[in-house]
Amino acid sequence: MDDAAILRTEGLTKTYGKGSGKTVALDNVNLKITRGKLLAVYGPSGSGKTTLLFLLGGLDKPTSGRIYFEGVEVSNMSERRLSKLRRNSFGFVFQNYNLVDELTVLENVMLTMIFEGKPDAERKDRAKELLRRVGITGKERRRPSQLSAGEQQRVAVARSVANRPELVFMDEPTGNLDQENSQQLMRMVADMVQGEGATCVVATHNLEVVNEAPSKVFLKSGRIVSS
Amino acid sequence: MPAFSLVRFTSRGLGRRPVRTTLTIIGLAALILTYVSVQSLVSTLEINVSGSVSSLGGEIDVWSKGTSFPLFSRVPVSYVNTVQIIPGVDLAAPVALAQMTVDNNQAVIAGVVPSELPRMLTYTMVAGTMITSNQSGILAIGKALATTVGKSSGQTLLLDGHNYSIVGVYQTNAWIDYSLIIPHSVAQELIGWVNQTSMIVVTTKDPRTVDTVIGQIRTLLPTADAFRTSEAPSKISPIFASLEAIGTDITIIVSLSAVLGITNSNLNNLRERMRTFAIFKATGASSSQIIRLVLYESLLIGILGTLLGLGISYVVLNIISIPVAETINVAIILVPSTFIYATLLAISVSLTAAIYPALRISRVRPQEVFRFG
């Protein structure tokens, strides 16, 4: 086992549909993600970036191939163990933020900690601290829809690291943001992820993000073209 | 996941859909009102009618064969003499029962032989005296009926269009308090019976011989049925069994309709919130936590619907009275167990209606929702 690799895949393949309607989203992807670094996964639309992230994050099951997280195979894990992994070891940031509008900003950040069963005071303190770090102060009681796009994405970033995950997956985090907000967000992500000691995998179109990432993977038609 | 957080989530989710939530709560309240009303009506009838057939005194009742209620029974008066000579019989007293107009009310009158009354019935006089002769135009009235018609001892009232003097007001703390007592011969005249009566009340010299006496009555009087007085309510049990069966059928139909309606409402509700549950799942909620979340939500609706339903049922049934067999208006008897069962029913319906939607939503696949909405 490679100690530096927090996550690795072997022949990861994902297909949708059957027969003539079959679509290969990922084709025999072999990948190693180094602990503590930011990995940028880039490529054109439909290249399989989001599919790869969902598979790595345990949100989807591969058609074939294997995924190992810290040496343990996750691709055949039960749903119960996967949910624990998503709760404790993984964090997610989505292009559309995916904040729950029924909940306040503070509650959104507390969400994973609530599912983990952490005490109310602890999760409140942690959520407030994270919101302060992403620059959302005084808006804790607001609904996500009352925030700007940039603010919503910062709340999503705060939520993703709330349970101190080892891996944070970001799917086009700057996709809905202008250049200034994108830069701000990525600086903040770098600080947060580094500060929390997490490894980050970002699927993006944004070449600035790609250029600043210490390691990168280019996907095309579901295959790794360069890394 | 702490229950308190779940309840907070739940109440927030419900509050965002006030119309659907309110309609579901009202639906459950209607279910409770239906259940409590039907059960209370059956209980009220059962308690009052059972009481009426088992409070005429004596140890043995003799009714005409196949009769399920003493008001419908008719036996020849000559049977009294037949029974009286059976060894071991102490008293065989005819009782004529009929429903008649008392002032402007309907009541059951009991015609008895005055001299036999003290051996048949345990009563206390609230005012005046009990009837002691076969004189026409006099009667004794039960305390409850006296209160209903607003009459007391010494006054007159109209019985079947004729004036009768009230010689006394009695109290037995049983059904007969809603009735009045007149001499048996007068009752026969009023009803238009010749040599007939409703039933015969029998006492024995030795209670150990009751079964033997019953056997002899059955042998001697093949067109009559004799049984222990305590068994009288069971004679009308088929009527109540039917009523209870109807009540149960109504409850089942209404409950099934409620389950289907609320399941459909839950499915639509959860479908609208699919994204929320997908986010929960993506951020680490397990399937069981999502199931619990949905069940808590239903439980909360169930509790609110139950509280509303019980409140409405209590108010409505307290202001309703029904005419029972004695034809007096009786307030519906609210049996506490009915409210407990109603609560269990509403909560069960609410939870049952949440099981399928909860299982479905727990299998939500975040990647599909996030991609395809």
Q: Can you tell me the distance from the alpha carbon of A148 to that of A153, in angstroms, rounded to the nearest whole number? A: 9
Q: Which of A16, A63, A83 to mutate to test the interface with B (most CBs of B within 10 A)?
A: A83
Say if CB A171 and CB A49 are below 8 A apart.
yes
Q: Locate the chain A residue with the closest alpha carbon to B5.
A: A114
Q: Closest to B5 (Cβ–Cβ): which among A86, A88, A114?
A: A114
Given this model, what pLDDT does residue B330 score?
A: 63
B5-9, B142-146, B153-157, B298-302: least confidently modelled range = B5-9
A3-7, B13-17, B193-197, B283-287: least confidently modelled range = B13-17
Given this model, what pLDDT does residue A132 score?
A: 92
**Tens digit of pLDDT for each residue in B57-114?**
788 999 898 887 777 789 999 999 999 999 999 999 999 988 888 888 878 889 999 9
B253 Cβ partners below 8 Å, 6+ apart?
Answer: none
Confidence of residue B179 (pLDDT cuts 50, 70, 90): confident
Q: CA nearest A143: which of A134, A155, A135?
A: A155
Residue B252 reports pLDDT greater than 80: yes
**Tens digit of pLDDT for each residue in A152-191?**
989 999 999 999 999 999 998 888 778 887 888 888 887 7
State whether residue B262 is helix, strand or coil: helix
Give the distance from residue B252's alpha carbon to the nearest chain A alpha carbon, in angstroms.
36
Q: Is A96 in CB contact (< 8 Å) with chain B?
A: yes
Q: Closest to B1 (Cβ–Cβ): which among A80, A115, A163?
A: A115
The CATH code of the domain that includes A36 is 3.40.50.300
Q: Locate the chain B residue with the closest alpha carbon to A84.
A: B284
Q: CA nearest B139: which of B106, B105, B122, B162?
A: B162
Give the distance from residue B281's alpha carbon to the nearest chain A alpha carbon, in angstroms.
7
Report the percent of chain B where pLDDT is more than 70. 91
Q: Is B367 in CB contact (< 8 Å) with chain A?
A: yes
State chain A's mean pLDDT as an integer.
88
8 Å CB contact of A117 and B1: yes
Q: Which of A49, A60, A89, A111 to mutate to test the interface with B (most CBs of B within 10 A)?
A: A111
Q: Closest to A115 (Cβ–Cβ): which among B12, B273, B289?
A: B289
- From chain B residues 287-326, the ones with a CB under 8 A of any chain A CB are 287-289
The predicted model gives B272-295 an average pLDDT of 90
Residue B326 reports pLDDT greater than 50: no
8 Å CB contact of A103 and B371: no
Helix (H) or strand (E) holding A93: strand A90-93
The predicted model gives B212-225 an average pLDDT of 92
Q: Is A79 in CB contact (< 8 Å) with chain B?
A: yes
The predicted model gives B233-256 an average pLDDT of 81
Say if CB B160 and CB B182 are below 8 A apart.
no
8 Å CB contact of A83 and B287: yes
Sign, CA torsion A47/A53/A54/A58 = positive
The predicted model gives B2-14 an average pLDDT of 66
Q: Locate the chain B residue with the closest alpha carbon to A119.
A: B2
Residue B184 reports pLDDT greater than 70: yes
State both tokens at A88.
Answer: 């404790």
Q: Where do runs of H (alpha helix) occur along B174-236?
A: 184-191, 210-220, 232-235
- Residue A92 to residues A166, A172, A187, B330, B332: CA-CA distances in angstroms? 11, 11, 17, 67, 61
Q: Locate the chain B residue with the closest alpha carbon to A118.
A: B1
8 Å CB contact of B284 and A112: yes
8 Å CB contact of B283 and A99: no
State whether residue B116 is helix, strand or coil: helix
Q: Closest to A159 (Cβ–Cβ): which among B281, B283, B286?
A: B283
Q: Closest to B1 (Cβ–Cβ): which among A50, A102, A114?
A: A114
Helix (H) or strand (E) holding A32: strand A23-34
Confidence of residue B245 (pLDDT cuts 50, 70, 90): confident
Whole-angstrom Cα Rg for chain A: 17
8 Å CB contact of A86 and B283: yes
Q: Is A87 in CB contact (< 8 Å) with chain B?
A: yes
Give the distance from residue A160's alpha carbon to the nearest chain B alpha carbon, in angstroms.
8
Q: Is B370 in CB contact (< 8 Å) with chain A?
A: yes
8 Å CB contact of B284 and A86: yes
How deeply is A63 buried, as exposed, middle or buried, from its count of CB atoms within 10 A (0-12, 13-18, 19+)?
middle
What are the sequence ranges of the domains in chain B?
3-51+238-372, 66-222
Confidence of residue B194 (pLDDT cuts 50, 70, 90): confident
The predicted model gives B348-357 an average pLDDT of 94
Range of the domain at A181: 5-226
| Number of structural domains chain A divides into | 1
State whether residue A64 is helix, strand or coil: strand
Q: Which residue in the block uniquely carries the two structure tokens 């005194």?
A: B57
Q: Is B286 in CB contact (< 8 Å) with chain A?
A: yes
The predicted model gives B331-351 an average pLDDT of 88
Whole-angstrom Cα Rg for chain B: 30
8 Å CB contact of B370 and A120: no
Dihedral angle computed from the Cα positions of residues B23, B25, B27 and B32, in that order, rounded to the nearest 10 degrees: -160
Q: Where do runs of H (alpha helix) occur along chain B?
A: 3-15, 18-53, 78-84, 117-120, 143-149, 184-191, 210-220, 232-235, 237-272, 274-282, 287-318, 336-362, 366-372
Given this model, what pLDDT does residue B343 score?
A: 93
Q: Where do runs of H (alpha helix) occur along chain A?
A: 49-56, 79-88, 105-116, 120-133, 149-160, 179-196, 207-212
Residue type, B177: D
Residue B218 reports pLDDT greater than 90: yes
B142: Cα separation from own chain's centroid:
23
Confidence of residue A150 (pLDDT cuts 50, 70, 90): confident
**Tens digit of pLDDT for each residue in A11-24?**
999 998 888 888 89
**Tens digit of pLDDT for each residue in A55-104?**
999 999 999 999 999 989 998 899 889 999 999 999 999 888 899 988 89
Q: Is A49 in CB contact (< 8 Å) with chain B?
A: no
Residue B139 reports pLDDT greater than 90: yes
- Residue A49 to residues A130, A136, B52, B301, B322: CA-CA distances in angstroms? 28, 29, 83, 42, 73
